[in-house]
Amino acid sequence: ARCCGSETPAPIALASVIEFIHTATLLHDDVVDMSSLRRGRPTVNAEWNNPSSVLVGDFIYSRAFQLLVSIGDMRIMEIMADTTNKIAEGEVLQLINKHNPASTEQSYMQVIHNKTAILFEAAAHCGAILANADAATQDALRLFGLHIGTAFQLIDDALDYDGDAVSLGKNVGDDLAEGKPTLPLIHAMTQCSESETKVIRECLSNKTPLLPDTLAQVISIIRESGSLEYTRAKAQEQATLALSKLSLLPPSVYRDALYTLAEFSVARNV
């Protein structure tokens, strides 16, 4: 919004709405995934219980929409309503794909668009709307958000196999342990030997807790298959597309901040 000349406090309220929705989805996700650690600390469901996590998530969702009403823009209301619907749809798609070794890169990209990228897309789009930007600028910022959100999730999924547990604030290999076929895993099955592919497929299909040695074996296969490099290259493609959308904006510290954000989305290690 500030990139497009807005000087009102409304973008701050909108940013709060986005953060509320994001936090609510995390509270619900941790219950669905039975996660015990997030950002290096116990999850709400681990510290207290599932009902507490679900109900607090519901409360934060409702507060987000109360705050959204105070902004008073029906177009933004429409976008955010559609966005939260798509996020839920993405989570359902991810649940359907769990423990499915036949998952494709196309189905994976659909999941990350709906569950992650679409919130970035909505944030950037609505910011432009609040600033009364022209249609071309609105669309450019919408696409900026879409591409940066996709890049962010691709890197997140690469870090799950290539990161450090202390830095990540969660266990390395959590996606595999939860049966999630993310891009590093999907790509690895197209690159490694038949015996290695069999190991991955069996681990992904397994609905019981994986033994530490088995988990370590699959992580090693993925790291040696070139799939992390492939995933990072895909993320860089998305970040480059995001940066290309900023040329319509006039030079400013706010535009510079968006450039930095796009670069951080692929350079981060946490």
Segments making up each domain of the chain, as ranges: 73-267
Report the pLDDT averaged over residues 191-207: 90
- Indicate whether this model's pTM tops 0.85: yes
Instruction: Please answer whether residues 216 and 176 qualify as being in contact, where contact means their C-beta atoms are separated by less than 8 angstroms.
Output: no
Q: Is 208 a residue whose pLDDT tops 80?
A: no
pLDDT of residue 214: 86
Q: Is 166 a residue whose pLDDT tops 80?
A: no
- For the segment 125-142, what is each residue's pLDDT rounded down to a tens digit? 999 999 999 999 999 999
pLDDT of residue 111: 95
CATH of 73-267, one of 1.10.1200.10, 3.40.50.1970, 1.10.600.10, 3.30.70.100: 1.10.600.10
pLDDT of residue 169: 64
Report the share of the chain in percent with pLDDT over 90.
71
**Angle, in degrees to the nearest 10, between helices 135-162 and 227-244:** 160
- For the segment 32-48, what is each residue's pLDDT rounded down to a tens digit? 877 777 777 888 888 89
- For the segment 59-95, what is each residue's pLDDT rounded down to a tens digit? 999 999 999 999 999 999 999 999 999 999 999 999 9
- For the segment 16-26, what is each residue's pLDDT rounded down to a tens digit? 999 999 999 99
pLDDT of residue 157: 94
pLDDT of residue 92: 92
Highest mean pLDDT among 70-74, 145-149, 174-178: 145-149
